[in-house]
Amino acid sequence: MSTADWVTAATDVIVQRANERLEAHRRALFEGTDRLFAWLMAGQWLFGILVAHFFSPYGWEGKVKTVHFHVWVAVLLGGALSSLPIALALLRPGWWVTRHVIAASQMLWSALLIHLSGGRIETHFHVFASLGILAFYRDWRVLGTATTVVIADHLARGILWPESVYGIVNPEWWRFLEHAFWVVFALAFLIWAGRKSLREMEQIAEGGAQLEALAEHEWRRTSVLERTAAG
């Protein structure tokens, strides 16, 4: 084998090992983040029920505190939003469908909490917190799914039931665009940070593969020298 052929073969081995290392790292990252969201979904369900019981009556009916349909909304709809992501995270961790279902469900949880609070502006920060946690996947497609869901929700409810999302009956027509702008603004930076982090993962995987290949080469070289000396 010529020197050029040997270098090409060695390079191919390093590239293959780097890709395997990167894939294993991303797989572990996906599975770990899936498990994180399984816990988060369960916690949000409990939190949503508490909000519906203790806060929703004040948010929707002034100072009249009664147990009303919001509790059932939190129990039934909240359970529906949490059950599928939890099941997928436990049964199919790391699957691409799992993280997209989690992304959609997480943003729908933001919508539900905003509704339960009567459209309080503070609850809208749940959207940005959710995007930040979804960025743990380092997959821009997941963020795209989440952003599509939250914008569609604001648009639909802003037309059909604006009080549930903005807290007022007749919001300004541009209110939807304002919310969408800030979500897209945050999304741009999260995607940039995720891609930068992914490049760093690729460099680490390549460096590890090179070290592994070098160590294997030295081991083979030492073995040959030892056999030659023994012969």
Question: 27-85 pLDDT, tens per residue?
Answer: 899 999 999 999 999 999 999 888 887 776 655 555 555 556 778 888 899 999 999 99
**Longest Cα pair distance anywhere in the chain, in angstroms?**
95
pLDDT in tens, 159-182: 888 888 887 778 777 787 888 888
> What distance lies between CA 122 and its chain's CA centroid?
22
The 10 Å Cβ neighbour count of residue 23 is 11
Q: State the burial class of residue 197 (Cβ atoms within 10 Å of its Cβ: 0-12, 13-18, 19+).
A: middle
What percent of the chain is modeled with pLDDT above 90?
36
**Which residue range(s) make up the domain with 176?**
3-230
Please give the single-letter amino acid code of residue 219: W
- Higher pLDDT: 88 or 207? It is 88
The token pair that represents 30 in the structure block: 């996906």
Return the H-helix or E-strand segment holding 122: none
pLDDT above 80 for 95: yes
Structure tokens at 190: 């999260």
User: What one-letter code names the amino acid at 8?
Assistant: T
Q: How many helices (H) and strands (E) does the chain have?
A: 9, 0
CB 85 within 8 A of CB 102: yes
pLDDT at residue 11, rounded to an integer: 66
How far is the C-alpha of 208 from the C-alpha of 1, rounded, in Å? 26
Q: Are 167 and 118 a contacting pair, CB within 8 Å?
A: yes
| The total number of structural domains that make up the chain | 1
